[in-house]
Amino acid sequence: MRSWIAGCLVACMLIAPAIAKPQNADQRFEAIYTKEWMWRVAEFGNQDGKTIDDHLPKADPASQEVYQHYWEGVLKDLATIPRARLSAKNQINYDVYKPQIENLLAD
């Protein structure tokens, strides 16, 4: 039993740096939009115009609530990033991305 626990502790120590929260504003912003985009593609299908998806997004009340809570969380995460600390490129990306998420939430 002790060796199993020790193995779990070692695994956690090895994995923790890989999942640690990015430190600078650009890294944090990029982590937020990358995670959200991966979720969006998984939830709604590929939206890049290169493939045709075989499903429509769910529109039932429970799914709409999931979408609402997810995008509220994204906006909450974005609010933790001081825009002025982003690179010039990511300030523009932020200015485009945040209203996009606000619009998705409003829908």
Residues 47-101 pLDDT 10s: 565 555 566 667 788 988 999 999 999 999 999 999 999 999 999 999 999 999 9
* 77 within a domain of the structure (yes/no): yes
Q: Is 56 helix (H, G, I), strand (E, B) or coil?
A: coil
Domain encompassing residue 78: 23-106
Among 4-8, 9-13, 23-27, 36-40, the minimum mean pLDDT is found in 4-8
Is residue 54 assigned to a domain?
yes
Cut 0.85: pTM above it = no
Q: Residue 9 falls within a domain, yes or no?
A: no
Q: Tell me whether residue 2 is in a domain.
A: no
Residue 4, pLDDT > 70, answer no
Classify residue 30 as exposed, middle or buried by CB count within 10 Å of its CB (0-12, 13-18, 19+).
Answer: middle
